[in-house]
Amino acid sequence: MEYEHLLYTVSDQTAIVTLNRPKAWNALCGALNTELESAIRRADGDPAVRAIVLTGGPKVFAAGADVKQMADATPMTAARTAEQGQQINELIESIGLPVIAAVNGMALGGGCELAMACDFRVAGKSAVFGQPEVGLGILPGAGGTQRLALLAGPAVAREMVLLGRQLRADEALTCGLVTKVVENEATLDTALALAAELCKKPAYALAQAKCAIVTGQNFGVGCGKLFERQLFALTFSNSDQVEGMHAFLERREPRFQNQR
């Protein structure tokens, strides 16, 4: 399958999805969003894929939504734009595959929202995160106000959203917005190494653990704990639970089947 605005490759059980609108700094237009949703579903539906790395390349992650496309929007078309962005980010959260954002350069507006929807964020030292929408007379519409408060805390969220403050990679690491900061040229390789580590984990347990975390974030700790209990029980229906526990007792490396 060919894409116009992104690149899709699979290497060592990891799908690498690269945003590819370099002349527009990977601005998230409607066409790119449609292709991005397709690529994520493609990876999720491929039994040979165990993780996804999402990147914008060595210079920029995504400079935000395409302002040219939105400048003359009506409330109805703006609602559809926000809905599409939220659907993509919720899809990233809901799939069983771990998703890693490899961020170099700017991750602003919709780009920051996209990165925050991922399970891990590996940032190059040049990375900059921000939600500048209020300065354009709007506000984040793809979940940014909510995920930012969850990841970095409400005080940082207010600074970034209300004041338009941008965070450098080291500041983003300090407040919990990113997982790891590395040299710019090592960003993608570090994300791929993290993906390889995740691919060693049993696929079903990994998916259920991610689901439990996201459920608690979205619906509260009480609901999350109840759901966790049910998912815990379900893992005992999967052959990798038997293999994992017997391998532990027998002091050998497990041979997971990774059914999901």
Residue 2: predicted pLDDT: 86
Q: State the Cα–Cα distance between residues 31 and 142, nearest whole angstrom.
A: 16
Nearest-angstrom CA–CA distance, 73 and 75: 7
Same domain, 232 and 134: no
Give yes or no: residues 154 and 236 share one domain: no
pLDDT at 65 over 90: no
Whether residue 255 lies inside any domain: the answer is no
Do 108 and 176 belong together in one domain? yes
Residue-wise pLDDT for 235-251, tens only, equals 999 999 999 999 999 99
pLDDT exceeds 90 at position 64: no
Q: Are 76 and 172 part of one and the same domain?
A: yes
Give CA–CA dist 131/152, Å, rounded.
Answer: 13
In a domain, 161, yes or no: yes
Average predicted confidence (pLDDT) for the chain: 95
Based on the fold, state whether residues 69 and 89 are members of the same structural domain: yes
- 182 part of a folded domain: yes
Q: CA 110: distance to chain centroid?
A: 12
Q: Are residues 234 and 141 in the same domain?
A: no
pLDDT value, residue 56: 97
The model's confidence at residue 9, banded by pLDDT at 50, 70 and 90, is very high
**Whether residue 72 has pLDDT greater than 90:** no
- Residue identified by tokens 């106000």 is 145
- Whether 257 is covered by a domain: the verdict is no
Residue 1 lies in a domain: no
Structure tokens at 254: 């497990």
Quote the pLDDT of residue 73: 86
**Whole-angstrom Cα distance, residue 119 to residue 128?**
18
What is the domain count for the chain? 2
Q: 231 and 188 in one domain?
A: no
Q: Tokens 């399958």, residue?
A: 1
Tokens of 170: 């080291």
List the catalytic residues. 113, 133
pLDDT tens column, 73-96: 899 998 999 999 999 999 999 999
Q: Which domain holds residue 214?
A: 203-250
Mean pLDDT of 41-48: 96
Q: What is the CATH number of the domain that holds 32?
A: 3.90.226.10
- Arithmetic mean of pLDDT, 17-29: 95
229 assigned to some structural domain:
yes
Q: What residues contact residue 118 under an 8 Å CB cut-off, 6+ apart?
A: 54, 92, 99, 100, 101
Average pLDDT over residues 43-53: 97
Q: Do both 44 and 169 map to the same domain?
A: yes
Question: Quick one: 67 and 95 in the same domain?
Answer: yes
Any domain includes 39: yes
223 in the same domain as 113: no
What confidence tier does 159 reach under pLDDT thresholds 50, 70, 90? very high
260 within some domain: no
Question: Residue 2 burial (CB < 10 Å; 0-12/13-18/19+)?
Answer: exposed
In this prediction the pTM is 0.95
Both 97 and 151 in one domain: the answer is yes
pLDDT of residue 115 exceeding 90, the answer is yes
Taking alpha carbons only, the member of 42, 13, 56 closest to residue 206 is 13
Helix (H, G, I), strand (E, B), or coil: what is residue 219? Answer: helix
Same domain (yes/no): 54, 159 = yes
| Percent of the chain topping pLDDT 70 | 100
